[in-house]
Structure 1
Amino acid sequence: MKMNQKTSLLSEPIPYKILFPWLHLFRVFRLAIDFQKILLAIAGLLMLSLGNYLFNKLPFAPEAPPTTRIASIQHTIQFPPPSSSSVPHSLSVEGLTGLSASHSGELLSPATLLEPMSFFTRPVQTLFETGASWSALAYATTQLLWAVIIWAIFGGAITRIAAIQFAQDDHIGCRAALGFSLKRILSLVSAPLLPFAGMGFFWVLCLLIGLFGNIPGAGGVIVSLLWGLAFLFAFVMTLILLVTLAGWPLMMTTISVEDSDGFDGLSRIFSYLFGRIWYFLWLAVVTLCYGALCLFFAAVLLQLMSYLAYWGVSWGMGSAQAQNLFQQDQPTLATTISLGWGSILNLLFSGFVISFFWSASTVIYFLLRKCDDGTPLDHVYVADEEQEEANELPLAGVAKSGEPIIERPVGADDASTDEETQTEENS
């Protein structure tokens, strides 16, 4: 009997994902290759580019604004691909992949995966520059607010789709996901902006210490004595800033998963990061390593597609004529259209990076929540609009077919009908 129990125990598969929940991170690639998420990511990038183009026209915009790119992740896919001029139709190693050693190093670095956060971190960096002009601060604030709004809509929609797929292995469309994020736009926007209000309070305290320096004679001594308080206020601001920058994607995910408000999204992430900081760092390291390999694979796949398309067309059109389609020194309509297809390839790659970023943030949130309070990984808020509408109406009975009959509230017309019926019965 004991031998049979041992044999049955040995034959059962080991629940690796229960013993090591972080193995769920390897599902991110499958979540990220969803075409709907990539489409939402591309739409977000286009809206960001449109906003930056309009912001550069504002009166307080810098004289030499940064170059606005549609796909600002990394332009890695080359179309036409690099090829050997001496061997027109050969599949060279560089032409096959389009990735030199330097490109491979860039793709395998965390910078590519963390590039989506730059939409949030770059304006914040400008806000904390010493000696920044009021126009630069206004421009950075405008960019920050626009980035928060755009990713609240499109990032919230991506995390909503990813949450439903991860927790329930179900799928919702772009329309339903965008409707979810638009209804909760205030919560999604307020969550990452609330910490800046707290930082502003401590910044005002530091500012007041600085004002003592304007006292003639004794100002410098007073400020020197109060440096300790300034360090204390700065320590609090440092903690708030680091948690905000690291937890901004998780705040979006919290609202998408829990259907909570901005304060709950903020408080949950502060609790998770302070309470499970080492587990969070481990999840981040695993995600960066795994994500770098996934992005490298996606870039090689797209570059190979670019090369084979150019290789096949050049055999029919001729190498010289095909190359003339990409002569930028004498741009024509054909050149513009051809280069536009190369931009589409880069948009697809950038959309995949954005989709991977938000999908990974969703899975990391589920794992942090499971580690902190033991909530099952399959727990996610599901809005059932039809059920809510049905609950508003009372059930009068059950028909023979088994379907409930919904009775309307008694109104004036119903009351008059009842009186007529009673009159007929009395007569």
Structure 2
Amino acid sequence: MADGRAQNPASSDRSASWMEIFRCFQVALDPRKLLVAAVGILVMSFMWWLLSVIFYSKAPETSEPQYQNSTIQRELGDKKKPDGTAYTEEDFRRIAHERYSTDMEQWRVLDSLAGPGGRLRTMPWYEYRGPNPFLFVTDVLSGSANDRATALTGFFSGSVPVLIEPLVKMLIPVAKLISPGVSVSTRIYLFLILMCNIAVWAFCAGIITRLAAVQLANKGPISLKQATRFVCKRYTAYLGAPLVPLIIIAACVVGLIAYGVLGLIPVVGDLLIFGLGLPVIIVGGAVMAVFLVGLVGYPLMYTTLSAEGDQSDTFDALSRSINYVYQSPWHYIWYWLVAIFYGAAVTLFILFFCSLTVYVGKWAVGLTASTVWTDRKPEYLFIYAPESFGWKELLTKDSPYAVRGSWDKIEGASDRQVYTYRPADPVAYAQARSEFYSYNSWGAGIVCFWLTLMFLMMLGFSYSFFWTAATVIYFLMRKKVDEAELDEVFLDDEEPEVPPAPPKIAEGTGAQPSPMTSLPVITAPAPAVAPAPVPPPPLPPIPVVDLTPPAPAPAPATIPITPPATEEPKKPEGGTPPPIG
């Protein structure tokens, strides 16, 4: 838990305000968090793409046997209509049409998710996320009023959802699972998508929130290795926290399904099961509703485990996330509104900065080719650039490889539209591509690799900001509901080993007592004793000086020794001796 540092109550209350959310920007910019988020996005997208390819099927056709009158007639056999009359050819045709319409509607749901260009099948660098931020800023500054309105609408419809993308992509499978008109195979597909989502972000979000929690609590930075080890030791808790409500919801669904089977009995179902037993259905629905609404607090589950450590577990994380939402819903909504709008602003800055970085670098490199060899302008190296956020449109602008985005209808039975990029001038594009050499394609591929890496790091900022904001909001909700200080964070015993080096030296001294004890003793007094050793060199001259003064001392001693010679007193005759006589 937190150490016993003293805090000013006024500063503590002030730090507990919603202004703490504005710390998220600098904390989320940590390259370690961006890297972990980029890895999570890549792994999640690949798993979604694989499941989409496996479960996707072609659209149903009226020529298939199950939609033929003969098939319907064979299935019905000798059955009669409710009024007692026999089925006619018109009835068979109507039943076949209804079956086809139902299957077609269910297929459209699957197609919108797992089909080509589907929401859960598109890789992140092809997904539409609004206009390019650099072009957006230029349109706002220099465009007409209509251009400004279009740019603002496109940005807020494309960039704002990017900020809450982790929560949206968690809730989309849940929302589709409980929606009507979804086939059994599509529900299985959505369930597996949800499991992949939880498995990936239980690990990646756990690392991000652990790094953020320690940093926000001012407990000193910890290494990525320590955060990873922390999450690995508690991965089952991270994985189980969001699974528990889903399991409870699934249990209620299965129980109500079994209850509904009894309701098929004509008299028992009408009077007992659905009549007197309706409260059972209502209670089951209420339990599911409580946990479904509580999933809004899903981000708090990971932050609870990252902040509380060994003092928390799966059920504690679940109870805290749901209790905080229900006990103080308006504070929770307000904190997330601030985080979303502030995050949209800083996300715009990050997207603009990264787009400007790539564009200005490409522009500066191309100045030489513009004056010396126009065919070598670097735009051809960006033909494989990421399309999301309009990067490809920005980097190939005003060149034969320029592209333009538009909403196009998918070919086939699907009636949905997908935002695709096509050459602005197909003739010029085809001619320029025909002049490509193999090394041109390889160079464009290498450039694509670096651009994609930078793009994933840029996109990872929205995930890093989201989970950092979730950590701050958890601290604020804990302060509001439990009155716990913001700097209370669990620290492993191994984590303090990094900052204090002296304990390691103490352990070394135990292994080597004589050298290690002597070194501190000598080096510590060295500054104070250093002047003392310096005087000893002058000490030898000091005895010499002392020896010379004794030379004058013997001189006066020899003077009294010489007086015994009587001849010498004549010299002092004019002095003291005559008066003495």
Q: TM-score interval w.r.t. the shorter chain?
A: 0.7 to 0.9
Structure 2, unmatched stretches of 5+, are 1-7, 59-110, 384-400, 402-422, 424-428, 434-440, 498-502, 519-581
CA positional deviation for 1:167: 0.4
The yes-or-no answer on 1:307 pairing with 2:416 is no
Residue 423 (structure 1) aligns with = none
**Alpha-carbon spacing, 1:169–1:30, altered in 2? closer, same or farther (3 Å):** farther
Q: Could you tell me which residue of structure 2 aligns to residue 233 of structure 1?
A: 284
Q: Aligned to 1:271, which of 323, 328, 342?
A: 323
Select between 158-167 and 252-261 the one with higher mean Cα deviation. 252-261
Unaligned runs of 5+ in 1: 1-11, 85-91, 404-427
Q: Which amino acid is the alignment partner of residue 317 of structure 2? A: G
The 5 Å alignment of 1:91-106 reads 100-106=151-157
| Cross-structure match for 1:48 | 44
Q: Which residue of 2 aligns with 1:322?
A: 378
Partner of 2:232: 182
Deviations 1:210-265 (A, max 9, x none): 22442247746666535554334222211111112x11111011111111211111
Q: Is 2:485 the partner of 1:362?
A: no
Q: Using the alignment, how far apart are the partners of 2:341 and 2:31 within structure 1?
A: 23
Q: Distance in 2 between matches of 1:188 and 1:62?
A: 34
Q: Equivalents in 2 of 1:76, 1:108: separation in Å?
A: 6
Residues of 1 paired with 2:300 and 2:126: CA distance?
A: 22
Q: 1:107 to 1:135 in 2, by over 3 A?
A: closer
Task: Give the SS at the match of 1:70.
Answer: coil
Q: Which moved more, 1:307-316 or 1:196-205?
A: 196-205
Farther-moved stretch of structure 1 (284-293 vs 334-343): 334-343
TM-score if structure 1 supplies the norm length? 0.76
Q: Deviations over 1:282-330 (max 9, x none)?
A: 2111111211111111122122212212221221223663333333766
Residue 280 of structure 1: CA displacement? 1.1
Task: For 1:124-273, list aligned pairs within 5 A.
Answer: 124-216=174-266, 219=269, 225=275, 226-227=277-278, 229-244=280-295, 246-259=296-309, 260-273=312-325
Query: Is the contact between residue 123 and residue 143 of structure 1 (CA under 8 Å) also seen in structure 2?
Result: yes
* Paired letter, 1:243: G
Say whether the 8 Å CA contact 2:38–2:460 is kept in structure 1: yes
447, 454, 458: which one aligns with 1:349: 458
The answer (yes or no) to whether the contact 1:79–1:306 under 8 Å persists in 2 is no
The one-letter code matched in structure 1 to 2:18 is W
**Could you report, residue by residue, the CA deviation over 1:338-384 in whole angstroms, capped at 9, with x for unpaired residues?**
44444334312210000000000011111111111111111101112
CA displacement 1:142-190 (0-9 Å, x = unmatched): 2111111111111100000000100025212222211111111100000
1:17 CA displacement? 5.6
Aligned residue identity for 2:233: K
The aligned amino acid for 1:156 is G
Rounded Cα–Cα distance in structure 1 between residues aligned with 2:470 and 2:29: 15
Q: Is the 8 A contact 1:81 1:310 kept in 2?
A: no
- Greater Cα shift, 144-153 or 186-195: 144-153
Percent identical across equivalent pairs? 29
Determine the structure 2 residue equivalent to 1:286: 338
Residue 123 of structure 2: aligned partner:
69
Structure 1 SS opposite 2:180: coil
How many Å separate the matches in 2 of 1:73 and 1:17? 43
Indicate the residue corresponding to 2:569 in structure 1.
Answer: none
AA partner of residue 19 (structure 2): L
Code of the aligned partner of 1:207? I
Q: Which residue of 2 aligns with 1:30?
A: 26
Cα distance change on mapping 1:360 and 1:72 into 2, 3 Å: farther
CA distance in 2, matches of 1:33, 1:304: 18
Q: CA deviation at 1:124?
A: 1.5
Of 338-347 and 198-207, more deviation after overlay is shown by: 338-347
| Structure 2: distance between partners of 1:152 and 1:296 | 27
Distance in structure 1 (CA, Å) of the matches to 2:156 and 2:175:
26
The residue identity in structure 2 corresponding to 1:368 is M
Checking the alignment, whether the CA contact within 8 Å between 1:212 and 1:222 is kept in structure 2 is: no
1:43 maps to amino acid: V
Distance 1:242 1:368 in 2: 17
Give TM-score, length-normalised by structure 2. Answer: 0.57
Match status 1:377 vs 2:377? no
Letter in 1 for 2:488: H
Is the contact between residue 73 and residue 350 of structure 1 (CA under 8 Å) also seen in structure 2? no
* 1:170 partner SS: coil
Aligned residues: 374
Contact 2:129 2:158 (C-alpha < 8 Å) held by counterparts:
no
Instruction: Give the distance between the partners of 2:358 and 2:495, measured in 1 at CA.
Output: 46
**Contact 1:272-1:372 at 8 Å conserved across structures:** yes
Contact 2:130 2:155 in 1 (8 A): no
After superposition, the Cα gap between the structure-2 partners of 1:25 and 1:221, relative to the gap in structure 1 and judged at 3 Å, is same
1:332-347 → structure 2 map (5 Å cutoff): 332-347=441-456
Per-residue CA shift, 1:45-77, capped at 9, x if unaligned?
11112222332454x455552333135876458
Task: Return the alpha-carbon distance in structure 2 between the equivalents of residues 80 and 277 of structure 1.
Answer: 37
Distance 2:495 2:155 in 1: 50
